[in-house]
């Protein structure tokens, strides 16, 4: 697994950083936080046109740039650094990922170019009231009706669900349960019978919505359910989508943590109490050192996971939950300690610490809490392995 | 008067209340009676609105007031902080003019201690007071000032001498807040509440007669206030007043006003009280991992409670106070942090939502974004660790680089741009 | 619950402390560690004759002094401070506790005075290979034979089992399982068919043995198993015995932690590096402050639990596992940090830190690991409570 | 000779080995050939037993030795620490007399740096070296000296000037160990192993010609040794030598001798490698709480591995070294501690037993009583935190109280009673 970025990748990072620093300064984040859409369509268009980010990691065949998860990781790290308010994670990572993993070739051809160009924004509607990010948590039923399907039920925690042009819905066939019978559907954002409500979120920089489906007409985008078809194909596509999303989120989180650590260390160098910079006191100094250690570990893990996702081999299954759990913990701890090191000013609204703190707490729970990911990792680790292998 | 006993005090206060308590009195009128009788502040001297009772007998008076549902003196930092400080260090003239209105609630007070540039290092403050005839002229900025937006007076610390070490050039003033040189702005916290203020002092003026204690000797006076503040925090446990009547209605209104800034404090402390209920309600108590964390949290919370109780009992046995103050403060940080994590573990995805969409109508979200304040406000965890190590364990202090030299020569924070709200705040990017 | 000691109790503590400091200095602990018996019979006799400690907490009717668990807690704290090598915990706490809770009046009359006087030493044989300290973990069967019982099976982790004059065995009736059919038996230490082997222990200051029973004749000491008898009486007596022992062990652990903290703080005041006492560096200073906090919490918890055991009311069920878990954690953490603060010298054999560290690690696991006790506590806390009670 | 390439070096060493490697040679004879040819220390100068190759090409030589199973130069601190230090700072006379025997293994070396009174603060050492004609007379005590009981030479730091700040009065000596003034005693650790020694220096003597570097300038030389030590630790990964033959047998014996003190090091590191197997074997992996802790531990261990790999790759891309040294050291402490706790959680009551009664034949018990050393040896966690904060993050140093004044005036530890082992050690109660 390659764990260092090439000079070209570092140059790419610089380009992305420059763009984001220009277009997503703190004042802009604070402005967009208070809006309903939660992002600036003009910036989105520019980021699509100039850098092609929405399709960066999508195959060229579908209008993307064909880069790997490693480059995607770089982009997400940079977005995490500035807390970019944009539908990137919801549309390019989650929804596009679902289409890529689950949809038929025809549907990929139809839908992905729209997302890759940034022209359309999609949302993945997976989670329901129980808050589970897995196949078994899906109870919304897609009932076959003449030539299509009818969706009835509720989805929630849907990133950008209230503004998306297109909603990708994970639903199950009537009578199925667990990992069986899952399929993916597409619904226009303004479909009849679809009620969308923006939710009030802890992290105002990433919007979520609740979607209520009452007899909504939907297209099935995943493969046909023929007699011989694998009933678990949908669940597998979902699992791949979520692994990929977990890796992406880990990279985004690590960017925020790194930025926050830099800000905090800078503050510790300049803030004077008792006639000395507070960073000369071991209490603060060792906290910073410990954060550096954690952030460096988190970076390695995020990079490893991104490389594993790019290789798409056996390592991904363990790397994804490992990265999601470890980086979540580091990200939240970094945010909490940063506030503590800043003292009173860190607890104010006007200081940016809290924006990172809320993003960290929210990302910790998005796609499942760390303990769930650790449980998954442990299950994989403890499977009986072939003779002698004791890693 | 012979040495008062618990029984004699109880009989006396009971008789007085029987004769005078009338829930239908206007609040101010009742408070004047309290001030006249000395029953409002029974441990204050008889000459100054009190009855000179030992502190140990104060609770007898409280019990009797509670028994008949009588209103006591005003709430807030006036009678709790300013009053005792003035009693101990103020001139007779200040006692005469300031004590009665703060007991009756006619005047409310705020504290003007912390500054943007001096948080943990309070004695490093740089607000300046310059003598101008019979007055001092004040310039600087204060922060974290609860109730400053409606206070009549402020307990102000300002530097009057820059040529001496930092603790020896500070003066303590009773500052009239309603004057042109003072601007008060609410300060919003990360949880959205704005319960503190920033106070900008631009050529504010205070009479030299309003110095509490002596010029340049204000640090000792400040320590007295801080000691009373710790006592106040440990005693504050005010439920709503029961009963009907004009005095009671007015007192409830006053209390609501005074307590408004503290409405999110239970969330800041982590709402341990909700954990078991939430675990049952959500079914998350079925998860062994959740159970472990709940057990840890409740164990810690109980251990903290029992430690406070142990200290109280020991003091009751006449033993010297121990490290319980800082331990309690540190425990509250640990508990708040742990509780927030347990709440997040229990609520899961729901904890991503806030307000009426959020778990328990947003209370859980408010816990999550309030607990970081617990380990900062009122003395950071780092400061508490220093106190425990130095005062309780006797470990040596760090070599000081600032206490030995003129404050003028001590490195300080680069001044943030003056933030006269009238002139906009664009330059501030802290 | 009373959480402060009276002046008389503090005076009692001083007497015990003086005795133990005189009779159990570090050199003596190190000498006894290397012996097979692991204690000095002469000191045991003196501690019995002069202070009456073995029967301190036993009722006067059975030859004890009739003090409560609070005084017992004081004694154990003091024993923990000096790492006293003696069969006190095994005989006076565990075995005598079992007899007190489980035995018939006649058996109490017969056995307890012998233990109270220190004349005889008893051991409680409960745990088996699975390492469980509960009723369901008992599989050793007591088969009724003419006028008595025959024991077959193995017991392990038996404190002082290789030297005890008397072994109290927890066994079950043939065919029973779980919490049913448990009974208590007594066997002389030199009984035919009883094989006793001292185990090599991490903590050499407290000896353990493995006992193998091959057709050993035993007396039943718990109440007769008549037709109407409660089949869970034995399990309940065992649970009470273990709660009481957990409280006792918490008090012992807290004594060790307190002593170690004192030693460590003293070292931090005198040890000079970089021209300053190391205790003036915040890295060390804050570690010490944090240990003080933990030890103070542990003291409160141990005292509360001792008072709850003395009152023997509803509080004990929660207080015992709470105390065992929390104090174990504090005790182990204090020992680990003490070694760290001492640096290299703390890692040597000649320094006493490691003796406390090993006692702490071993006590953590004795009577069940902290997570088991937390699980028990959580179960109790989460039981549905009567209306409105949300504590 | 033209600029060597990987290919040219490989061809050359391969040819040489083909011509000279004979597993049946006596070890010493083979090593003399290595010294003569320069292939034993290829990056050393050609004048001094090497071939002047760039460090980056050393691994090519190692690979070729490994490929044919040829024995390399002696193991241990002689060629790894003393050799490079002498090369960089020693006189030509010392290079002539000392380098060859340490390469061949004729002389073994030990380090005499740490003292009971100076651990983290190595430069605060108080062992004294006093000039006496052409010699220095050494008095003091050293500690934590691996292999001192059989070493021929010691790398000794001693103070030669007490009138200057601490870093400027230290001299570095090559000390002959086999002399009457030196007593070596094994030092037993808490896990029962005795892999270090204490060294008592009572009027030990060393020729002035054996000063490495200059008198009073030994601190710089010591830093060079310490840098080589860090490199050695990061490179030490020696499996047992395979193959048959006299040279190999003798080398294995030598290796076993040198490595004996390190037999418990894997336990000190926590034996993460055993965790999954133990969890499966005992069935404890069925407990969700155990699974959480296992996942945490393995995640941390992998994160540490990947971080080291990331740093290596970055260096391979020509980027400057980062904080990985201290991070690796700190991770090893965290991992060791966490692993011990996981092992205790898995083994439960069985972890109370040791030796053959204990879990996994006592290995688990040895883990439990060895891990506390991981965060102390080779630079405590606290020192690593300082290094990370100051060197990697650029945070300011603490104000120093000792580096600016004559060492004579710096507070030091009260001397422990001299512990001449001949006179018994009763007085030592540290």
Q: Is the pLDDT of residue D233 over 70?
A: no
Chain C residue with Cα closest to A287: C283
Cβ distance A285 to D294 less than 8 Å, yes or no, reads no
Nearest to B299 among C265, C293, C325 (CB): C325
Average pLDDT over residues B138-159: 96
> Which band of pLDDT confidence, cut at 50, 70 and 90, is reported for residue C101?
very high
Q: What is the mean pLDDT, run by run of 10 residues, along chain A of 391 residues?
A: 94 98 98 98 98 98 97 98 98 98 96 98 96 96 94 98 98 94 97 98 98 97 76 95 98 98 98 96 98 98 98 95 98 98 97 98 98 98 65 41
Of A200, A276, A354, the CB nearest to B369: A354
What DSSP line would sit under B341-398, residue for residue? HHHHHHHGGGGGB-GGGSGGGGHHHHHHHHGGGTTTTTS-HHHHHHHIIIIIS-PPPP
Beta-carbon contacts of A180 under 8 Å, excluding residues fewer than 6 positions away, are A172, A231, A232, A235
- With an 8 Å Cβ cutoff, is D152 touching chain B? no
Rounded Cα–Cα distance for residues B368 and A354 (Å):
11
State residue A1's pLDDT score.
85
**By a Cβ cutoff of 8 Å, what residues of chain A touch chain B?**
26, 127, 131, 157, 199-203, 208, 210, 270-276, 281, 283-284, 336, 339-340, 343-351, 353-354, 357-358, 361-362, 364-366, 369, 371
Which residues, including other chains, have CB under 8 Å from residue D27's CB and lie 6 or more apart? Answer: D71, D105, D246, D247, D250, D251, D254
Q: What is the mean pLDDT of residues D145-163?
A: 96
More confident residue, D355 or C223: D355
Per residue in C115-139, pLDDT tens? 999 999 999 999 999 999 999 999 9
Mean pLDDT, chain B, integer? 92
CA B25 to chain centre: 30
Contact A91, A267 (CB under 8 A): no
Phi, psi of A372 (to 5 degrees): -65, -40
Look at B295 and C304 and tell me if their CB atoms are within 8 Å. no
Contact call for A283 and C281, based on CB within 8 A: no
Could A343 and B120 be called an inter-chain contact, meaning their C-beta atoms sit closer than 8 Å?
A: yes
Q: Check CB contact under 8 Å for D289 and B287.
A: no
Mean pLDDT for B321-350 is 96
The Cα–Cα gap between A62 and A52 comes to 13
Tens digits of per-residue pLDDT, C12-69?
999 999 999 999 999 999 999 999 999 999 999 999 999 999 999 999 999 999 999 9
Instruction: Identify the CA nearest to B301 among candidates A365, D17, D354, C301.
Output: C301
How far apart CA D69 and CA C37 sit, in angstroms, is: 53
Task: Name the minimum distance, in Å, from the CA of B93 to any CA of chain C.
Answer: 45
CA distance C379 to B290: 11
pLDDT value at position B207?
Answer: 98
Question: Is residue D396 less than 8 Å (CB to CB) from chain B?
Answer: no
* In the predicted structure, residue D424 carries a pLDDT above the cut 50: no
Does the structure show a pLDDT above 80 at C225? no
The confidence score (pLDDT) of residue A9 equals: 97
Q: Which residues are CB-contacts of B378 (< 8 A; sequence separation ≥ 6)?
A: B233, B329
Please give the structure tokens belonging to residue D213: 């570097």
pLDDT in tens, B359-372: 999 999 999 999 99
Sequence-distant (6+) residues with CB within 8 A of C368 are C132, C133, C134, C324
Q: Judge whether B337 is closer than 8 Å to chain A, CB to CB.
A: yes
The pLDDT value given to residue D428:
27
Q: What is the DSSP string of A32-71?
A: HHTSSS-S-HHHHHHHHHHH-GGGTTS-GGGTS----HHH
Q: What is the per-residue pLDDT for B423? A: 36
- Which residue among A200, A271, A366 places its CB closest to the CB of B355? A200
Rounded to the nearest angstrom, the minimum Cα separation between B398 and chain D is 10
CA atoms within 13 A on the CB side of D178: 6
Query: Are the beta carbons of C283 and A286 separated by less than 8 Å?
Result: yes
The number of helix segments (H) and strand segments (E) in chain A equals 11, 9
What is the token pair recorded at C376? 């028990």
What are D53's two structure tokens? 């190759």
Both tokens of D408, joined, read 């004579």
- Closest chain C residue by Cα to residue A280: C282
In sequence order, what are the residues at sequence separation of 6 or more whose Cβ sits closer than 8 angstroms to the Cβ of residue D340? D270, D367, D368, D371
Element (H, E) at B316: helix B288-316
| Structure token pair of residue B257 | 């006003």
B409 → chain A, closest CA residue: A275
All residues at 6 or more sequence positions from D283 whose CB lies less than 8 Å from its CB, including other chains = none
Among chain A residues, the shortest Cα distance to B429 is held by: A351
> At a CB cut-off of 8 Å and minimum separation 6, what does A333 contact?
A291, A294
Q: Which residues of D touch A268 (CB under 8 A)?
A: 395
Segments in D317-380 forming alpha helices (H): 324-347, 363-370
Average pLDDT over residues D253-277: 94
**Would you say residue D382 has pLDDT above 90?**
yes
Q: Please say if the pLDDT value at position D418 is more than 50.
A: no
Identify which of C230, C240, C237, C188 has the alpha carbon closest to the alpha carbon of residue C213: C188
Q: What is the pLDDT of residue D235?
A: 54
Res. B417: pLDDT tops 80:
no
pLDDT at D348: 97
Say whether B382 and A347 touch across the interface (CB within 8 A): no
Q: Compute CA distances A34 → A38, A131, B430, D366, whole Å.
A: 7, 25, 21, 58
C-alpha pair distances (Å), D327 with each of A22, B322, D307, D388, D392:
34, 39, 9, 8, 11
Between B267 and C384, the higher pLDDT residue: B267
pLDDT at D2 (0 to 100): 64
Question: Would the pLDDT of D66 be above 50?
Answer: yes
Neighbours of A145 (CB within 10 A): 11
Other beta carbons within 10 angstroms of residue B215's beta carbon come to 17
The yes-or-no verdict on residue D239 having pLDDT over 80 is no
Q: Which residue in A has a C-alpha nearest to residue B380's C-alpha? A: A343
Residue in D with minimal Cα distance to C132: D349
Determine the average pLDDT of the residues in C346-372. 98
Contact B316 C4 (CB under 8 A): yes
Compute the distance between CA of residue B177 and CA of residue B78 in angstroms, rounded to an integer: 14
H runs (alpha helix) in A37-192: 41-51, 69-82, 96-102, 105-116
Q: ipTM for the complex?
A: 0.95
Yes or no: say if B138 and B181 are a contact pair by the CB < 8 Å rule. yes
State mean pLDDT over D96-107: 96
Cα–Cα distance between A16 and A39 in angstroms, integer?
18
Residue of A nearest to C280 (CA): A282
> What six digits make up the tokens of C6?
């009276």
pTM as predicted: 0.95
- Asked if the C-beta of C340 comes within 8 angstroms of chain A's C-beta atoms, the answer is no
pLDDT(B394) > 70: yes
Confidence at residue B233, expressed as pLDDT on a 0 to 100 scale: 66
pLDDT (average), residues D268-295:
97
| Residues D314-318, mean pLDDT to the nearest whole number | 88
- C·D CB contacts under 8 A: 135
Question: Which of D121, D352, D400 comes nearest C362 by C-beta?
Answer: D352
Q: How confident is the model at residue B222 (pLDDT cuts 50, 70, 90)?
A: very high
| Interface chains of chain B (3 or more CB pairs under 8 Å) | A, C, D
- Give chain A's contact residues with D (Cβ, < 8 Å): 1-4, 6-7, 265, 268-269, 276-277, 279-282, 284-286, 288-290, 292-293, 296-301, 303-304, 322, 325-326, 371, 374-375, 377-379, 381-382, 384, 390-391
What is the reported pLDDT for D231?
A: 76
Q: State the burial class of residue B146 (Cβ atoms within 10 Å of its Cβ: 0-12, 13-18, 19+).
A: middle
At residue B424 the predicted structure's pLDDT band, cuts being 50, 70 and 90, is very low
Instruction: Write out residues 225-284 of A within 8 Å (CB-CB) of C.
Output: 281-283
Please tell me which chains touch A, using 3 or more CB pairs under 8 Å as the contact test. B, C, D
With a cut of 80, say whether residue D149 has pLDDT above it: yes
Alpha carbon distance C347, C361 (integer Å): 15
């Amino acid at each position: 697994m390659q764990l260092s970025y090439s000079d070209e990748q570092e140059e790419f990072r610089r380009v992305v950083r420059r763009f984001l620093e220009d277009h997503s300064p703190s004042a802009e984040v604070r402005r967009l936080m208070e809006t309903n859409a939660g992002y600036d369509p003009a910036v989105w268009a520019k980021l699509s046109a100039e850098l092609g980010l929405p399709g960066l990691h999508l195959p060229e065949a579908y209008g993307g740039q064909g880069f790997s998860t490693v480059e995607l990781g770089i982009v997400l790290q940079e977005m995490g650094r500035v807390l970019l308010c944009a539908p990137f994670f919801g549309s390019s990572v989650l929804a596009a990922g679902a289409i890529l993993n689950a949809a038929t070739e025809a549907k990929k051809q139809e839908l992905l170019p729209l997302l890759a160009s940034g022209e359309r924004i999609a949302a993945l509607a997976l989670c329901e009231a129980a808050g589970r990010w897995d196949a078994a948590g899906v109870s919304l039923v897609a009932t076959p009706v003449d030539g299509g399907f009818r969706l009835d039920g509720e989805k929630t925690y849907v990133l950008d669900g209230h503004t998306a042009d297109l909603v990708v819905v994970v639903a199950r066939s009537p009578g199925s349960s667990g990992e069986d019978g899952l399929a993916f559907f597409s619904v226009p954002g303004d479909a009849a019978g679809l009620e969308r409500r923006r939710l009030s979120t802890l992290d105002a920089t990433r919007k979520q919505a609740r979607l209520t489906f009452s007899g909504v007409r939907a297209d099935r985008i995943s493969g046909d359910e023929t007699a011989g078809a694998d009933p678990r194909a949908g669940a597998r596509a979902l699992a791949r989508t979520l692994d990929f999303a977990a890796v992406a989120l880990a990279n985004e989180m690590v960017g925020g943590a790194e930025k926050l650590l830099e800000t905090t260390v800078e503050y510790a160098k300049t803030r004077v109490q008792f006639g000395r910079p507070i960073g000369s006191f071991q209490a603060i100094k060792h906290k910073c050192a410990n954060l550096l250690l954690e952030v460096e570990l988190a970076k390695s893990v995020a990079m490893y996971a991104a490389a594993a996702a790019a290789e798409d081999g056996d390592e991904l299954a363990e790397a994804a939950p490992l990265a999601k759990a470890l980086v979540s913990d580091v990200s939240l701890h970094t945010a909490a300690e940063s506030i503590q090191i800043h003292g009173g000013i860190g607890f104010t609204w006007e200081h940016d610490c809290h924006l990172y703190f809320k993003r960290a707490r929210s990302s910790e729970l998005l796609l499942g809490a760390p303990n769930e990911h650790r449980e998954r990792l442990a299950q994989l680790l403890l499977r009986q392995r072939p003779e002698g292998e004791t890693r | 008067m012979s040495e008062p006993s618990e029984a004699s005090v109880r009989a006396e206060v009971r008789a007085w209340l029987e004769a005078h308590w009338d829930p239908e009195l206007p609040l101010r009128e009742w408070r004047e009676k309290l001030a006249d009788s000395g029953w409002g502040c029974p441990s204050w001297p008889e000459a100054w609105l009190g009855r000179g009772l030992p502190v140990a007998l104060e609770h007898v008076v409280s019990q009797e007031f509670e028994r008949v549902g009588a209103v006591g003196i005003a709430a807030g930092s006036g009678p709790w902080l300013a009053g005792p400080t003035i009693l101990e260090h103020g001139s007779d003239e200040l006692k005469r003019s300031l004590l009665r209105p703060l007991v009756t609630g006619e005047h409310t007070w705020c504290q003007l201690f912390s500054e943007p540039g001096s948080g943990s290092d309070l004695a490093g403050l740089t607000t300046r007071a310059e003598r101008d005839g019979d007055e001092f002229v004040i310039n600087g900025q204060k922060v974290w000032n609860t109730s400053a937006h409606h206070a009549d007076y402020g307990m102000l610390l300002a530097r009057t001498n820059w040529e001496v070490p930092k603790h020896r050039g500070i003066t303590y003033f009773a500052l009239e807040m309603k004057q042109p040189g003072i601007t008060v702005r609410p300060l919003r916290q990360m949880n959205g509440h704005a319960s503190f203020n920033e106070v900008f002092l631009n050529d504010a003026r205070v009479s030299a007669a309003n110095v509490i204690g002596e010029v340049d000797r204000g640090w000792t006076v400040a320590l007295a206030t801080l000691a009373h503040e710790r006592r106040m925090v440990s005693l504050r446990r005010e439920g709503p007043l029961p009963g009907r009547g004009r005095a009671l209605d007015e007192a409830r209104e006053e209390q609501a006003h005074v307590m408004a800034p503290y409405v999110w404090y239970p969330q800041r402390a982590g709402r341990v009280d909700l954990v078991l209920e939430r675990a049952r309600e959500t079914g998350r108590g079925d998860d062994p991992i959740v159970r472990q964390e709940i057990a840890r949290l409740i164990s810690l919370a109980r251990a903290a409670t029992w430690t406070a109780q142990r200290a109280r009992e020991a003091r009751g046995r006449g033993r010297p106070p121990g490290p319980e103050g800082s331990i309690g403060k540190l425990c509250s940080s640990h508990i708040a942090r742990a509780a927030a994590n347990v709440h997040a573990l229990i609520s899961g995805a729901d904890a991503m939502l806030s307000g009426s969409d959020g778990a328990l109508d947003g209370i859980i979200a408010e816990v999550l974004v309030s607990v970081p304040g617990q380990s900062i406000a009122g003395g950071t965890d780092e400061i508490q660790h220093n106190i425990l190590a130095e005062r309780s364990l006797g470990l040596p202090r760090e070599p000081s680089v600032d206490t030995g030299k003129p404050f003028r020569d001590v490195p300080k924070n680069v001044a943030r741009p003056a933030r006269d709200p009238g002139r906009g705040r664009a330059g501030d990017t802290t």
